[in-house]
Amino acid sequence: MSQMSETRRRPIPWGQGVVLLLLLLLLGLSLLPLFMMLLLSLKSNADIFTNFWGLPKPPRWDFYAQAAGALWRYLLNTGIIILAVVPGVILLSSLAGYALSRLQFPGRDLIYFGVIALLMVPGILTLIPTYALVQSFDLINTRWALILPYLAGGQVLGVALCRTFFSGLPEELFEAMRLDGASDFTIYRRLALPLSLPTLATIAIMTTLGVYNDYIWPLVTISDNAIQTFTVGVTRFSGEFNLDYGPTLAGYVIGSIPLVMLFAAGMRAFVQGVTAGAVKA
């Protein structure tokens, strides 16, 4: 008991204490903009200018009602796009990753190197060619103009992560199932997919973030306000209330809630997937 009490009372080394203080300071600086956004979203312009750092007097919850009423359709449109894109990215990237890691065929490594090379190409460089391609299929101003490019673009990182993870699995597991007469698709479905759930969760989160935060592509391809996404919609909403900061900031708060919930629910799987994909290149 005495040894345990001495261990508990042992002071933290000053070096660790300094690091802890610095981390807390960085955390506070990171959270300060979010805190100020929440605080100012409940204030009128007069309250902001006269009582910037103080609590709202009174809180303007009606600003959130205005923002929710104007933005719910944009959030719904974004959710529809995400629900259409994420399952497709997971399915196609896991299939391609399994084939590139576990199947033998001519040009396999060349294909994988081509996929890796695509990671080094900035998306803005392919904006005009992609727009021309979508326009040639007469898909401008439709949801397909968003779904198909997102589905294709999400494959690059997804294939790289899945191929890296599947390559790191013990070969004995696959050989045992082949000896039992399992086909490649059965091995993929019953062995590879269950083991790769953290990696697939990582792909789902990163794809969702990419679709949710994209601004340029919906702006240039969608002009119909009825199917526009949130990132463009919230800028239009903020333009309507450019003289009143409260409703604009309330819209930003509402837009950040889905991402906060996504990370809160999938952070553990996200970290596991990233570390699993980094074990073997």
For the segment 162-192, what is each residue's pLDDT rounded down to a tens digit?
A: 998 888 888 888 888 888 888 888 888 888 8
Quote the pTM value.
Answer: 0.82
Identify whether 224 is part of a domain.
Answer: yes
What is the arithmetic mean of pLDDT over 124-148?
91
Identify whether 188 is part of a domain.
Answer: yes
Q: Report whether pLDDT(120) > 80.
A: yes
Q: Residue 81 sits in a domain of what CATH number?
A: 1.10.3720.10
Identify whether 29 is part of a domain.
Answer: no
Identify whether 26 is part of a domain.
Answer: no
Higher-pLDDT residue of 13, 49: 49
3-state secondary structure the chain: CHHHHHHHHCCCCHHHHHHHHHHHHHHHHHHHHHHHHHHHCCCCHHHHHHCCCCCCCCCCCHHHHHHHHHHHHHHHHHHHHHHHHHHHHHHHHHHHHHHHHHCCCCCHHHHHHHHHHHCCCCHHHHHHHHHHHHHHCCCCCCCHHHHHHHHHHCHHHHHHHHHHHHHCCCHHHHHHHHHCCCCHHHHHHHHHHHHCHHHHHHHHHHHHHHHHHCCHHHHHHCCCHHHCCHHHHHHHHHHHCCCCHHHHHHHHHHHHHHHHHHHHHHHHHHHHHHHHHCCCC
Identify whether 57 is part of a domain.
Answer: no
Structural domain harbouring 257: 65-277
Q: Report whether pLDDT(102) > 70.
A: yes
Domain total for the chain? 1
Q: Report whether pLDDT(279) > 60.
A: no
Identify whether 167 is part of a domain.
Answer: yes
Q: Calculate the average pLDDT of the chain.
A: 85
What is the arithmetic mean of pLDDT over 92-110?
89
Identify whether 40 is part of a domain.
Answer: no
